[in-house]
C-alpha cells in the first residue's frame, strides 16, 4: 500500500528577529505566534488532510539552510513524502533569495509539493507552472539583505560586550558559575578548589596523566558530572578524568581573571562554519572577573604541559588506528608508541576502578582475527553472489514470461472494448433485444473488471522484479570487489577503511566486528 503523503508547516526563530538578542522578542515573530497563525489559516481554508506535522528551528539563522528541522523536512520532500508545506512568511523558510527561488521554482514543483506563504499571499497551487514573480523575488532579496544587516549589528553588539569584559559565552567554565548581575561569572568554590589544585600539581611538574589519575583515585567529580549535578542533567556525563579534561583546564587563561575574547570567528555572515584563531593572535581582555590562580602559577603550569606534551609519531600509518573500541566504555584503544605491540583502553591509564583495565589485546593477534574474518566474509559473499547470479537469470526469464502474458491480457482487453462498442451499436439499431443487450453488457463488464485486475497484478509483479533487478545491478560491482578480497594476506589501512566500521574488544578478548559493507551486501550473505 502506497504511503500517504504528509502535510507540514515550518516555524523558525533566530537572533536575527528584532529584539530577540536583547531577550524581548516581539510576540508577532515568536514560535507560538507563527504556530497560531498557521493553524488558524489551516482551519479557515479547510485544507485537505488532517495529518499536519510541525517542523521548528528555534535559534537558527535564515541566511542558510543548515538547520536540523528544515533539513529533515527537505529530506522527506526528496523522498516524495510531502504534499504541502505552509510557512507564516517566506523569510521563515529562507532569507537567501537565490535558495528560496530555487526551491519554489524547481525543487517543490518537481516533487509536486504545494508551498504556501501566508503573509506573502503566495500559494504554488494558484501560481501553477508560472514563476514565483518579481514582487516575491524582490522581497526575498530584501529579506536576505535585512538578515545579514541584523546579523552584523548583533555581532557588533556582542563583540562590544566581550571587550567590556561581560561574559556572553554561554555556560560558565568549570570553577565558575553565573553571577547575580547579568553577564558576569563568580567563583564556584566547590569546583574552584579542584581547579587550584590542578594548577598547583602542574606547577610541581606532575604530568597531566598523573593529575587525572590522582583526581580519579580521590573520586573528584569531573567537570561534566559537576555540571549535570548542579546545573542541568541534559549534559552528557564523563565519569572519569582524562588527559584531555585536565589539559583543557590548564590551558584556559580564564582562571587568571583574563578572558580570551575571540578563540574563533565565523567564516562569513549567516554561516555556521568557524575558523580557530591561533592562541598568540587572540585578543585578551584583562581583569574581567575574579581570578582563581595567579598569572605566575598559570605560566608554570604551561611549562609542565610543554615538557610532558604528547609526542607526535610520524611515518607509520597503522590500519588498526581509530578502529579498535573498548567494549566497556566505548573509548578508542591505543598502543602509544609505534614499537608497542599491545592495544589497550585509554581510560585504563587514568583509573583502576573499571573493567577497562582488562581490555587489551596483542596487535598481531587482533590483526590475524580481523584478516581471517575478512577472508571468511568475502568468501561467503563470493559464494552467495554466484547463487544470486542464477536467481537474477531466473528473474529475467520470469519477467519476460510475465511481459508476454501482459501483452496477451492487454490485447484481450482491447478486443473486449471493441466488442462492447459493437454491442452498443446493435442495441441502438435495435438488432438485439434489450434484455439480451443488458445480459451481454453485464458479462462484458465482469470480463473487463477481471482482465483489469489480472493486468494490474501482472504489472505489479513485473515492477517488483524490475526493482529487484535494479538493486542487483547496483550491488554487482560492490559484491564482485568484495569477493575478490577473499585471498588477501595483508591488512592495510585502505582495506580496513573500506570494509571495517569498528572492532569492539571486550575483557577476556571477546571480539565483535561491525562491517561497512553490511547494508550493501547483506542480501547476498543470508
CATH number at residue 230: 3.90.1750
Would you call 123 helix, strand, or coil by DSSP?
strand
Show the domain range for 424.
365-519
Whether residue 372 is found in the same domain as residue 276: no
Q: Note whether residue 201 is domain-resident.
A: yes
On whether both 257 and 213 belong to a single domain, the answer is yes
pLDDT of 189: 93
Residue 184 and residue 73 share a domain: no
- pLDDT tens for 297-323 read 999 999 888 876 655 554 468 899 889
- What is the domain-level CATH number for residue 78? 3.40.50.1390
Are residues 130 and 230 located together in one domain of the fold?
no
Residues 279 and 376 in one domain: no
User: Considering 286, 307, 328, which residue would you say is the last residue of a domain?
Assistant: 307
Q: Are 446 and 491 members of one domain? A: yes
pLDDT surpassing 70 at residue 384? no
In terms of domains, do 151 and 193 share one? no
Q: If you average pLDDT over residues 254-264, what whole number do you get?
A: 86
| 237 and 378 inside one domain | no
Angle CA 519–520–524, to nearest 5: 105
What CA–CA distances, in Å, run from 118 to 79, 130, 315? 25, 18, 61
User: Of 161, 186, 211, which residue is a domain's last?
Assistant: 161
Per-residue pLDDT averaged across 20-39, rounded? 65
| pLDDT per residue as tens digits for the range 199-252 | 999 999 999 999 999 999 999 999 999 988 877 667 788 888 988 999 999 999
Residue 64: CB partners within 8 Å, gap ≥ 6?
96, 99, 270, 271, 272
Q: Is residue 357 part of a domain?
A: no
Distance between CA atoms of residues 378 and 249, nearest Å: 48
Check whether residue 114 and residue 223 sit in a common domain.
Answer: no
How much of the chain exceeds pLDDT 90, in percent? 29
Q: Is the pLDDT of residue 17 over 60?
A: no
> 260 phi and psi, to 5 degrees?
-80, 110
Instruction: State the pLDDT at residue 143.
Output: 58
pLDDT tens-place string over residues 104-160: 877 888 888 999 988 888 888 886 545 445 455 555 555 555 556 566 666 667 777
Flag whether pLDDT at 271 surpasses 70.
no
Closest CA to 217 of 110, 353, 326: 353
The pLDDT of 420-445, averaged and rounded, is 87
Domain count, the chain: 3
Same-domain status, 148 and 189: no
Check residue 167 and give its pLDDT.
86
Per the model's pLDDT, the better-predicted residue between 6 and 128 turns out to be 6
Q: Which residue has the cell 602559577?
A: 297
Residue with the bigger pLDDT between 64 and 342: it is 342
Smallest CA-to-CA distance from 402 within 318, 323, 463, 352 is with 463
Given strand 511-515, what is the order of strands in its sheet? 324-326, 500-505, 511-515
Residue 111's nearest CA partner among 5, 232, 258, 240 is: 5
285 versus 55: the higher-pLDDT residue is: 55
Confidence of residue 28 (pLDDT cuts 50, 70, 90): very low
SS3 87: strand
pTM, whole model, 2 decimals? 0.50
58 within some domain: yes
Q: What is the pLDDT of residue 134?
A: 44
**More confidently predicted of 361 and 58:** 361
Beta bridge mates, 8 = 53, 85
How much of the chain is in helix, strand and coil states, percent to nearest 5? 55, 15, 30
- Mark which of 272, 292, 307 sits at the end of a domain: 307
Amino acid at each position: 500500500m502506497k504511503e500517504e503523503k504528509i502535510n507540514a508547516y515550518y516555524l523558525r526563530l533566530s537572533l536575527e528577529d528584532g529584539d530577540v538578542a536583547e531577550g524581548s522578542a516581539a510576540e508577532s515573530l515568536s514560535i507560538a505566534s507563527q504556530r497560531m497563525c498557521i493553524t488558524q489559516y489551516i482551519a479557515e481554508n479547510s485544507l485537505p488532510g488532517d495529518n499536519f506535522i510541525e517542523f521548528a528551528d528555534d535559534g537558527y539563522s535564515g541566511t542558510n539552510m543548515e538547520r536540523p528541522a528544515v533539513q529533515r523536512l527537505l529530506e522527506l520532500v526528496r523522498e516524495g513524502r510531502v504534499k504541502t508545506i505552509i510557512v507564516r512568511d517566506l523569510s521563515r523558510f529562507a532569507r537567501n533569495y537565490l535558495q528560496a527561488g530555487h526551491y519554489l521554482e524547481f525543487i517543490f514543483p518537481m516533487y509536486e509539493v504545494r508551498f504556501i506563504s501566508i503573509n506573502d499571499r503566495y500559494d504554488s497551487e494558484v501560481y501553477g507552472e508560472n514563476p514565483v514573480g518579481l514582487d516575491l523575488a524582490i522581497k526575498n532579496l530584501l529579506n536576505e539583505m535585512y538578515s545579514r544587516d541584523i546579523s552584523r549589528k548583533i555581532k557588533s553588539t556582542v563583540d562590544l560586550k566581550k571587550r567590556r569584559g561581560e561574559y556572553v559565552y554561554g555556560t560558565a567554565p568549570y570553577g565558575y558559575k553565573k553571577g547575580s548581575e547579568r553577564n558576569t561569572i563568580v567563583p564556584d568554590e566547590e569546583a574552584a578548589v579542584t581547579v587550584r589544585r590542578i594548577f598547583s600539581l602542574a606547577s610541581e611538574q606532575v604530568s597531566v596523566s598523573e593529575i587525572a589519575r590522582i583526581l580519579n583515585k580521590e573520586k573528584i567529580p569531573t567537570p561534566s558530572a559537576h555540571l549535570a549535578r548542579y546545573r542541568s542533567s541534559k549534559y552528557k556525563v564523563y565519569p572519569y578524568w582524562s588527559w584531555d579534561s585536565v589539559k583543557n583546564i590548564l590551558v584556559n587563561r580564564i582562571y587568571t581573571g583574563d578572558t580570551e575574547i575571540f578563540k574563533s570567528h565565523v567564516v562569513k555572515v549567516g554561516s555556521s562554519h568557524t575558523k580557530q584563531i591561533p592562541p598568540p593572535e587572540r585578543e585578551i581582555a584583562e581583569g574581567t572577573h575574579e581570578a582563581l590562580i595567579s598569572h605566575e602559577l598559570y605560566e608554570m603550569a604551561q611549562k609542565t604541559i610543554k615538557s610532558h606534551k604528547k609526542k607526535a609519531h610520524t611515518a607509520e600509518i597503522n590500519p588498526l588506528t581509530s578502529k579498535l573500541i573498548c567494549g566497556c566504555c566505548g573509548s578508542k584503544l591505543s598502543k602509544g608508541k609505534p614499537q608497542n605491540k599491545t592495544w589497550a583502553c585509554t581510560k585504563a591509564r587514568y583509573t583502576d576502578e573499571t573493567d577497562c583495565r582488562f581490555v587489551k589485546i596483542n596487535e598481531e593477534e587482533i590483526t590475524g582475527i580481523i584478516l581471517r574474518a575478512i577472508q571468511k566474509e568475502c568468501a561467503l559473499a563470493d559464494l552467495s553472489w554466484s547463487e544470486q547470479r542464477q536467481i537474477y537469470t531466473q528473474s529475467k526469464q520470469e519477467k519476460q514470461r510475465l511481459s508476454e502474458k501482459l501483452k496477451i491480457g492487454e490485447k484481450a482487453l482491447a478486443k473486449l472494448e471493441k466488442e462492447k462498442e459493437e454491442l452498443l451499436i446493435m442495441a441502438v439499431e435495435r438488432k438485439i433485444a434489450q434484455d439480451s443487450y443488458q445480459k451481454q453488457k453485464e458479462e462484458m463488464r465482469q470480463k473487463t473488471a477481471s482482465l483489469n485486475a489480472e493486468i494490474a497484478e501482472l504489472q505489479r509483479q513485473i515492477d517488483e522484479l524490475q526493482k529487484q533487478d535494479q538493486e542487483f545491478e547496483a550491488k554487482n560491482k560492490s559484491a564482485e570487489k568484495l569477493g575478490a578480497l577473499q585471498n588477501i594476506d595483508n591488512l592495510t589501512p585502505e582495506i580496513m577503511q573500506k570494509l571495517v566500521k569498528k572492532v569492539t574488544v571486550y575483557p577476556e578478548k571477546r571480539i565483535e566486528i561491525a562491517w561497512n559493507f553490511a547494508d550493501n551486501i547483506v542480501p547476498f550473505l543470508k
